[in-house]
Structure 1
């Protein structure tokens, strides 16, 4: 559960979401070691299960699953994804197909933010591939410069911004975006490294 705690801290430190550990609550996210890595999308009533099973105990995977619990779909499932990626359903394992289902405008709102190849919510080019040996791609970016970017284990600036917009707490009165790096501290004025604070 150390990876989950670190992932929760990343979301907590860089968004307005308060995530804290409790022994008991009527409504909470319960993290366990089920089969695989999964969470439902968005809040459910009562206790909401989030699984970090074998092979899932990394900060990137935990951050990804926690974002699902907080309401995020996969980036490759955005309703506008066909403008940014090619999806090869013939190369996808049948049990993985639902991970690539394109959402509709009514189920997936992206706050006017551009497609983010570097999102922690984006699968890699061979995720869910049907052949583990030859590893044919399940998707590729239309802009080939982003081929190595997809499947990032890091929370991106756009992830942070979207989370704050999703919970109506951008913390900014100004129109410009704040400078931020999810990869770690940036040696600049601290306020410029915090998406909760905008400098005019």
Structure 2
């Protein structure tokens, strides 16, 4: 089992999530075994862009008495 060196830190090479800045905003779908890539280019997840896709109402959000995490990286569709 090899190691990867990131910023001078040796980490196990089993399952890695690599977030980097490239052209576009994309990620592989689902959990990937091994290396999983996420690209967060210019303009990704800005407030203006997020509001086009996220509905924020008290009827659709079940936050279990916790405030909505506007800084969250991941947003998921309704699973019901």
Q: Which band: TM-score by shorter chain?
A: 0.3 to 0.5
The structure whose residues are more often strand, as a share, is 2
Q: If the length of structure 2 is used for normalisation, what is the TM-score? A: 0.47
Q: If the length of structure 1 is used for normalisation, what is the TM-score? A: 0.22
Q: Max radius of gyration: which structure?
A: 1
